[in-house]
A = this chain, B = another copy of it.
Amino acid sequence: MKWDTMLLEENCLKLIDQRKIPQQIEYFRAENYQQVIFAIKEMVVRGAPAIGAAAAHGVYLAARELRELEGDIFVKELEKALQELGNSRPTAVNLIWGIRRMKKVLTSNLDLPRDELLQKLLSAARDIAREDVEINKKLGDIGQEIIPQGAGVLTHCNTGALATVGYGTALGVIRAAHSAGKEISVFVDETRPRLQGARLNAFELKEEGIPATLIVDSTAAVLMREGKVDVIVVGADRIAGNGDTANKIGTFMLSVLARAFEIPFYIAAPVSTIDFDLKSGQEIEIEERDPAEITHWEGKPIAPEGVDVFNPAFDVTPAQNISGIITEKGIIRAPYTEGLTRIKPGGDSN
């Protein structure tokens, strides 16, 4: 994509404002960690890997803001900031992962002069961002084998360069298949309520020149029945140790339809999206978002006032519905607990 999702600058985090695409390409400037929290909560930046990198840079910005404070007070205030950052959205585990990784850098460099500490933190955040792109490219290269020549590929939500620091997870796999010369055609679920499919995924696919057809989410079943979908690939916000996967609402529905029509159903996500602390998907906290995402459109009501709403941002797809989980360490297949344990990073990176 010709635009950067984020720029980790010394004095701010610049984020492409994903609320405004495709109408406008504008950058949101977060100059302190509170503004990073705002950007995550309001979905200026979204997508698990993108949130992870943004939060990492948020840790640097918090340390920068608090740099004049001395010793214990510095640590205490910073702890508070990290807590707040960690609470900005509940489901994407990359958020916690990014903060945890930054905290290690922080803890082991507290003795350094403040300026040097800040330099270390900025480099660490930039490492996370750089690695994310590398990991996605690797994941894409590995994953594209699941996409046959000439395939119809169905995907949900945005999992491209915008959902990450660059390249993308599920959309990275699609991008890699396209680059490898496979003449694929992508069906893009619009992904209600926030329309990340229509606004962001369709936008990236168009930029890239990959043939894509936009549909409302409930049209997917018709395409599957008609034999137009050869493979489904989606991203993840958190994967439990047994392979159960939380992803954008509607993913579970697709997985049930995939089973009914015997279509391979893949998850694509970096290892940082796997939460090895969780035994199963039942332990994943699912964020419920503002009912206005469904009842209103740009402030105007599209449903009767005061109607009850159930608006979970994610759902959990059980491992048994998943054909494979594509990671930068290979494609993991059932039995997932064993497969995921094999790629569990050592204490150092997790």
Residues of A within 8 A of B (CB): 22-23, 187, 189-190, 192-193, 195, 198-199, 202-203, 206, 211-223, 225, 249-250, 252-253, 256-257, 259-260, 291, 294-295, 297-298, 300-312, 315
Q: Shortest distance in angstroms between A321's beta carbon and chain B's nearest beta carbon?
A: 10
* A312 to B222 Cα, complex, angstroms: 10
Smallest CB-CB separation from A156: which chain B residue?
B218
A216 close to B219 (CB less than 8 A): no
Smallest CB-CB separation from A297: which chain B residue?
B297
The listed residue (B211, B213, B306) touching A309 by CB distance below 8 A is B213
Question: Nearest 5 CB-CB pairs, A to B?
Answer: A218-B250, A221-B253, A192-B216, A198-B303, A217-B218
Sample (26) of A-B pairs whose CB atoms are under 8 Å apart: A23-B301, A189-B218, A192-B217, A192-B218, A195-B302, A198-B303, A199-B302, A203-B303, A206-B306, A213-B308, A213-B309, A214-B291, A214-B303, A214-B309, A215-B309, A216-B294, A217-B218, A218-B253, A219-B311, A221-B252, A221-B315, A222-B312, A253-B253, A256-B260, A257-B257, A260-B260
* A193 to B306 Cα, complex, angstroms: 22
Q: How many of these chains are in the complex?
A: 2
* A301 to B199 Cα, complex, angstroms: 9
Collect the chain B residues with CB atoms within 8 Å of residue A303's CB: 22, 190, 195, 198-199, 202-203, 214
Interface of A, secondary structure class, is mixed
B295 close to A214 (CB less than 8 A): yes
Collect the chain B residues with CB atoms within 8 Å of residue A190's CB: 192, 294, 303
Smallest CB-CB separation from A220: which chain B residue?
B253
Smallest CB-CB separation from A218: which chain B residue?
B250
* A193 to B311 Cα, complex, angstroms: 18
Collect the chain B residues with CB atoms within 8 Å of residue A22's CB: 301-305
Collect the chain B residues with CB atoms within 8 Å of residue A211's CB: 308
B215 close to A300 (CB less than 8 A): no
* A212 to B220 Cα, complex, angstroms: 26
* A145 to B214 Cα, complex, angstroms: 40
B203 close to A304 (CB less than 8 A): yes
**Chain B CB within 10 Å — which of A214, A294, A304 has the most?**
A304
Smallest CB-CB separation from A305: which chain B residue?
B22
The listed residue (B187, B198, B212, B312) touching A219 by CB distance below 8 A is B312
**Chain B CB within 10 Å — which of A190, A193, A206, A303 has the most?**
A303
* A300 to B23 Cα, complex, angstroms: 8
* A209 to B256 Cα, complex, angstroms: 33
Q: Shortest distance in angstroms between A94's beta carbon and chain B's nearest beta carbon?
A: 23
B300 close to A252 (CB less than 8 A): no
* A214 to B315 Cα, complex, angstroms: 17
Q: A202-B304, A213-B310 are in contact. List 8 more A-B contacts (CB 8 A).
A: A189-B218, A206-B306, A212-B307, A216-B249, A219-B315, A256-B256, A260-B260, A297-B298
B192 close to A307 (CB less than 8 A): no
A315 close to B257 (CB less than 8 A): no
Smallest CB-CB separation from A199: which chain B residue?
B302
Smallest CB-CB separation from A248: which chain B residue?
B218
